[in-house]
Amino acid sequence: MRKGRLEQLIRESGYDAVVATSLANVYYSSGALIMTQASIPDRLASVVWPARGDPVFVVCSIEASLAQRDSWIKDVRTYEEFATSPVALIADVLSKLAPAPRQVGVETRHLTAHYMDELRRTLPSVQLTACESLFDRARAVKEPEEVSRLASAAQATDKAIWESFATATPGRRERDVAADFQRRLLDSGPDMVAFCVLGSGENTALAHPYASDRVMKSGDLLRVDVGGSFQGYYSDLARTMVVGKASDRQRDVYSRLWEVHEQTIDAIRPGVRASDLYHVCAAGFERARLSFKMPHIGHSLGIGLHESPMLKPQDNTELVPGMVLAVEPLHFEPSGERYHVEDLIEVTATGHRIVSRAGKWDTLFETN
């Protein structure tokens, strides 16, 4: 259970208490998904978790009923928006802990300067330091139930991509395919379509475009990078196809990229480091004469989109069973057009398991 993992890490951390404030870490530690934490960031929600004693859930009064229904934390305290500062309530909870806390961990990469300055002023004798790495470590290894949510989210998303790609025929607009994909994804019962990046032709040169009114023609590259939110867990998959009929060069580039992709995935097993996978991928690109310019070649996936470990040269985390990795190599043509594939892989006791393939992606998809 998520609660148990976190509880142990907090006890071992040396902190007297940690304070979660981001949507992901509040959801992870409380079990309650408060969507307005993202859309209305001033309206803070927070879990104050002492090393000894029970956690307290701080929410805006408007969210109290949801917090009480969905969280296992019994002690829910509320503030009135605009009348009281959420930080005043967090500070009040901290200051009443016994013994008085001296070292408190906060999310310095989430808490804003405004709220952090207020917390520092209110608790001048408490040392406030960054504790994200504690949450990162807890979230990096998924419970079986989390893996199963992520796997079924990935399957549903891949199926929706596969089916909507069949509708990407010459004469249709980018926007039509994006809407078709989203409709199909909605059939699988996500909370939301979380993001829908789609570009064709010259628009594949953009990293994160929304679908446009561009009318597609035969031979256009089409790339998607899409995801849904399923009970707060992300799917995140990228696929590339050709509208109408592909050229021999397009088929060749895709098949070389796919081969490197498979080689990188093959290297996934316990004990390998995140940075190793980066280097395996980079070496594969060189052998395949593809253009490699990625700061990372993938990331963990969960409640967050880019979770730890990141598949980058600076991250030497050793893989362990229960990690769930999105591997996403990208090749740029001299024109700027990009080929992009992304799969989701569970690290298992003996190696790995690809959980994201509902379609058959080993050859380039065409709608000839």
Binding site for its own copies (CB under 8 A): 33-36, 38-42, 61-63, 65-66, 69, 80-83, 106, 108-117, 130, 175, 179, 182-183, 186-187, 189, 191-197, 205-210, 295-296, 305-306, 310, 312, 314, 336
The least distance separating its own copies from the CB of residue 116, rounded to whole angstroms, comes to 4
- Minimal distance, residue 16 CB to its own copies, in Å: 19
Q: Fill in the DSSP letter of residue 243.
A: S
Q: How far is the CB of 357 from its own copies (least distance, A)?
A: 24
Best CA proximity match to 146, nearest among 324, 8, 286: 324
Specify the residue, 115 or 365, whose C-beta has the smaller distance to its own copies: 115
Token pair for 287: 């052998």
Q: In angstroms, what is the minimal distance from the CB of 207 to its own copies?
A: 5
Q: Which is closer to its own copies, CB of 196 or CB of 364?
A: 196
We find the least distance from the C-beta atom of residue 49 to its own copies, in angstroms, to be 19
Tokens 């892989």 correspond to what residue? 345
| Tokens read off for 337 | 């057009």
Q: Between residues 110 and 352, which has the closer beta carbon with respect to its own copies?
A: 110
Q: Are 151 and 176 in contact (CB under 8 A)?
A: no
Structure tokens at 221: 């590259």
In this structure, what token pair is assigned to residue 133? 């790495």
Nearer to its own copies, 100 or 130 (CB): 130
Q: Which residues are CB-neighbours of 29 under 8 A, at least 6 positions away?
A: 2, 3, 6, 20, 47, 49, 55, 135
Q: How far is the CB of 310 from its own copies (least distance, A)?
A: 8
Residue 210 to residues 69, 163, 343, 360: CA-CA distances in angstroms?
Answer: 36, 19, 21, 25
Closer Cβ to its own copies, 246 or 308, answer by number: 308
Token pair in block for residue 59: 């929410």
Closer CB to its own copies, 278 or 361, in the complex: 278
Residue 262, amino acid: E
